[in-house]
């Protein structure tokens, strides 16, 4: 539970149980309900690495596409 809280505290955005964290030009996404499920995408939504299945990837990318404007900006 402490690890989940630590991850959530560092996240730039959390949507429906997924923590989105910007690192350089990549977005790291972690399922807080199953820490083994992760996704790394480029800022334009291209999948770079994943341990998620295709359905979960589509769900997470839909979250990203609809909510990326709310992601905290490093320049702000």
Q: Is the pLDDT of residue 30 over 80?
A: yes
Q: What is the DSSP pairing of strand 26-31 with strand 18-23?
A: antiparallel
Q: Is the pLDDT of residue 69 over 70?
A: yes
Average pLDDT of the segment spanning 28-47: 96
Residues 6+ apart with CB under 8 A from 47: 39, 40, 41, 57, 61
Q: Is the pLDDT of residue 73 over 80?
A: no
pLDDT at 72: 62
- The gap between the terminal CA atoms of the chain, to the nearest Å, is 30
């Amino acid at each position: 539970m402490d690890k989940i809280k630590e991850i959530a505290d560092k996240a730039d955005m959390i949507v429906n149980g997924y923590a989105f964290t910007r690192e350089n030009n990549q977005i790291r996404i972690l399922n807080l309900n199953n820490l083994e499920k992760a996704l790394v995408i480029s800022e334009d939504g291209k999948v770079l690495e994943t341990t998620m299945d295709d359905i979960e990837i589509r769900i997470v990318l839909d979250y990203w596409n609809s909510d990326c404007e709310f992601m905290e900006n490093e320049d702000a």
